[in-house]
Amino acid sequence: MDFSLSPEIESLRLKVREFIAEEVIPLESDPASYNEYENITLSLTAKMRDKAKAAGLWAPQMPKSRGGLGLPVAGWAAFYEEAARSIFGPVILNCQAPDDGNMSVLNKVLASEEHKDTWLQPIIDGDVRSSFVMTEPHPGSGSDPGGMMLTKAERKNDRYIVSGRKWFISGADVATHFILMARTSNDPRRGLTAFVYHRDDPGWRIVRRIENMGPDEHGGVCELEFDGLEIPMENRLMEEGDGLRITQIRLGPARLTHCMRWLGYAKRCMEIAGAYINEREAFGSKLVERESIQMMLGDVAKEIQTGRLLTMHAAWLIDQGDRAQKEVSMAKIHVADVLHKAADTGIQLCGAKGYSNDTLLEWIYRYARCAKLVDGASEVHKMVLARHYGKLGNDFWRWGTG
């Protein structure tokens, strides 16, 4: 296992870092850059995306033949981490959830190039946003979609009729292309099927945009209701009953890309705190000279680097063809904790300034809390690890793939 970057990817990483520093970070201090949900405005996003495309820093996870950079997953890790040095970076470079996970799964499972032209290419080009529609309110599915999903897609001749309810659907308020998971049978393993549908299709509605502690990414999280949405057969993804398989194809890499971005945010927290403690004086010395402060900073730095290694190891395994399920779960648990710890420590080191809106720390702190919930709660991922350990025993610790 060699985690050194190729000269090409290292050069690209430095290019991303320069672009974020010169073009994106300055936007964070301008109140006009923010919308009412505390994220970058859509008009400014469009302008900056044009700059990213011109700089050759666009859609790192997509094939070159479709306008992306065609990076391996380990290359994503380097790219995404630098993109997330700014809270605006991922969306500007088209490596932001849920679009990145949706693009990746559509690229793998759409049946024809014609379907890719219709459903995938507009997302790659940045012309539309997308959403993955799976989570449901109680008693429907959360972390157990196979056993608890209630939304139904009933087949009638050449189409499916959808009824049910979903909630906490990321990006739905601005999405045009949707990937929907629904129940097509009571088979415990092959009961779910995936579909694509368009925002303008009748038979569904956004009930509300759910208010939360935020800040929100574009499109927020929404509650949706389906009451007769008709989906033609050709808009089914893969075969009927392949829904769980599609969620596995999507969610493994998507969880890992969360980790990649969170590591960038965590490093930014330490960057902000480090600059402050190197300037701030109290009781006759700078804060950075105090052993207690050094211990806090060093502890977070260690945890961030541990998260980077867990993330890169999982990325490397995926590049070798391994599903890396337990490795992704380990990274997801650890990096979610690290992001929260980095933001909390950054606030503590900066004192009242960190708690105020004068830095990004309070923004990242509020954002960080959802990291332990999204794409599987940390407790669920710990159950995944226990299941793997129970099955593998000492082979749980094996090196390499297999």
Give the CATH number for residue 267: 1.20.140.10
> Would you say residue 1 lies in a domain?
no
213 C-beta neighbours (distance < 10 Å), count: 10
330 pLDDT tier (thresholds 50, 70, 90): very high
**Is 318:312 a contact under the CB 8 Å cutoff?**
no
- Quick one: pLDDT at residue 399? 84
Give the pLDDT confidence score for residue 369 in this predicted structure.
96
Read off the pLDDT of residues 331-379 as tens digits, 9 standing for 90 and up: 999 999 999 999 999 999 999 999 999 999 999 999 999 999 999 999 9
Same domain, yes or no, for 393 and 248? yes
In the chain, pLDDT over 70 holds for what percent of residues?
Answer: 100
% of the chain at pLDDT higher than 90: 93
pLDDT tens for each residue of 74-130? 999 999 999 999 999 999 999 999 999 999 999 999 989 999 999 999 999 999 999
Task: Specify the pLDDT at position 147.
Answer: 76
Do 120 and 136 lie in one domain? The reply is: no
Judged against a pLDDT cut of 80, whether residue 142 lies above it is answered with no
Is residue 2 a part of any domain in this protein? no
Structural domain range at position 11: 7-125
Spatial distance between the Cα atoms of 48 and 59, rounded to a whole number of angstroms:
14
* 185 and 265 both lie in a single domain: no
Query: Within this chain, do residues 287 and 354 fall inside the same structural domain, yes or no?
Result: yes
Return the pLDDT at 124: 98
- How many domains would you assign to the chain? 3
Same domain, 276 and 324: yes
Q: Is the domain of 40 the same as that of 77?
A: yes
Tell me, what's the pLDDT at 80?
Answer: 98
In a domain, 104, yes or no: yes
Residues in contact with 161: Cβ distance below 8 Å, sequence separation at least 6, in sequence order: 153, 154, 203, 228, 229, 230
- Distance (Å, rounded) from C-alpha 244 to C-alpha 194? 8
The answer to whether residues 199 and 277 belong to one domain is no
In angstroms, the CA 190 to CA 19 distance is 45
CA 392 vs CA 1, 278, 317, 402: distances in Å = 21, 48, 17, 11
Q: Show which of 177, 207, 240 is a domain's final residue.
A: 240
pTM of the model: 0.96
pLDDT at position 200 over 90: yes
Asked if 93 and 166 sit in the same domain, the reply is no
pLDDT score at 377: 95
Q: What is the CATH number of the domain that holds 202?
A: 2.40.110.10
Q: How far is CA 358 from CA 28, 291, 354, in A?
A: 11, 26, 7
Same domain, 288 and 393: yes
According to DSSP, residue 132 is labeled E
Which of 207, 240, 273 is the last residue before a domain boundary?
240
Per-residue pLDDT at 158 exceeds 70: yes
Identify the three-state secondary structure at position 386: helix
Residue 402 has pLDDT above 70, yes or no: no
- Model pLDDT, residue 148: 87
pLDDT tens-place string over residues 273-287: 999 999 998 888 999
Q: Please identify which residue in the block is written with the tokens 């909630």.
A: 167
266, 219: one domain: no
Q: Of 125, 157, 172, which residue is a domain's last?
A: 125
Q: Answer yes or no: do 159 and 227 share one domain.
A: yes
